Amino acid sequence: MKILLVEDNLELCENLKEAFEQEGFIVDVAYDGEKALDLAFSSEYDVIVLDIMLPKMNGWDVCASLRNEGFTTPILMLTARDSIPDRIRGLDGGADDYLVKPFDLRELLARIRVLIRRNSARKLNFIVLGKGRVKLDLLKRTVNVDDKPIKLSKKEFDIFEYLAINAGIVLDRQKIIEHVWESGFEMYSNVVDVYIKYIRDKLKRYGVDDLIETVRGIGYRIREEV
């Protein structure tokens, strides 16, 4: 996997580059917006980590230029500017995610993995979990464990797909509801818990009983290491 890191703070840039390389990524670095565009046009990346306040060309303009040229590479913006209008400007300009400085390195790495996973899923139409045992076909909307099909209802698949795409990220119950159910749908308070139990029970029949983790008081996530 290859990352383009665009950051003009030399110390932060070196620290991030080292952290990414320890995770197994190949890292190219740009310290200004013009160099970032040159690298993006001349090489292929799995994700671009892009600071906003840059010399020569800011991150918003870099992102917009790439999207206008048809680039679909996931872009995660880093910035010290945490106002809502700034976030909206970045996301409306084509960014896939937005992280405010200072941030926890573990969160940044988790968000990068999510972006790469989403992009791969869009290209390949499937997600593999549980050390290769569990496979979701996003096009056919099927789930297999050890190549044996598991029958999930539409809502069960929608929830499992949302968790799988965001593996490693904690999703609270409200986010799951907003993503899976149509707006204004009236439901009981523990509806997410009930559906998670349905999915767990079906996975457990095939010996998969620790894939979906409960994060007490918040929600659920799929364990990346499982």
Structurally, how many domains does the chain consist of? 2
SS3 of residue 160 by DSSP: helix
Asked if residue 217 and residue 135 are part of one domain, the reply reads: yes
Asked if residue 157 and residue 201 are part of one domain, the reply reads: yes
Confidence (pLDDT) at 130: 86
CATH number for the domain including 204? 1.10.10.10
**Residues paired with 29 in a beta bridge:** 5
Asked if residue 43 and residue 88 are part of one domain, the reply reads: yes
CA distances from 116 to 44, 48, 73, 121, 181 (A): 13, 10, 9, 8, 25
Greatest Cα pair distance, the chain, in angstroms, is 58
Structure-block tokens of residue 108: 């940044």
Confidence (pLDDT) at 226: 44
Asked if residue 129 and residue 91 are part of one domain, the reply reads: no
Asked if residue 161 and residue 95 are part of one domain, the reply reads: no
Residue where a domain terminates, one of 63, 95, 121: 121
Cis peptide before 85 (omega within 30 of 0): no
Asked if residue 132 and residue 106 are part of one domain, the reply reads: no
Asked if residue 84 and residue 38 are part of one domain, the reply reads: yes
pLDDT in 10s for each residue of the chain, 226 residues:
789 999 999 999 999 999 998 888 889 999 999 999 999 988 888 899 999 889 999 988 999 999 988 888 899 998 876 667 766 776 767 888 888 888 889 889 988 988 887 777 666 678 888 888 999 988 788 999 999 999 999 899 989 998 998 888 889 888 888 778 765 555 566 889 999 999 999 999 999 988 999 998 889 999 865 4
Confidence (pLDDT) at 99: 87
Model confidence, pTM: 0.59
Asked if residue 140 and residue 211 are part of one domain, the reply reads: yes
Asked if residue 218 and residue 168 are part of one domain, the reply reads: yes
- Residue 2 phi, psi dihedral angles, 5° rounding: -125, 130
Confidence (pLDDT) at 157: 93
Residue where a domain terminates, one of 121, 151, 185: 121
Residue where a domain terminates, one of 75, 105, 121: 121
Asked if residue 194 and residue 134 are part of one domain, the reply reads: yes
Asked if residue 111 and residue 36 are part of one domain, the reply reads: yes
CA distances from 148 to 41, 84, 193 (A): 43, 46, 25
Host domain of residue 22: 2-121
Asked if residue 111 and residue 8 are part of one domain, the reply reads: yes
Confidence (pLDDT) at 179: 77
Q: Is the dihedral of CA 75, 81, 84, 85 positive or negative?
A: negative
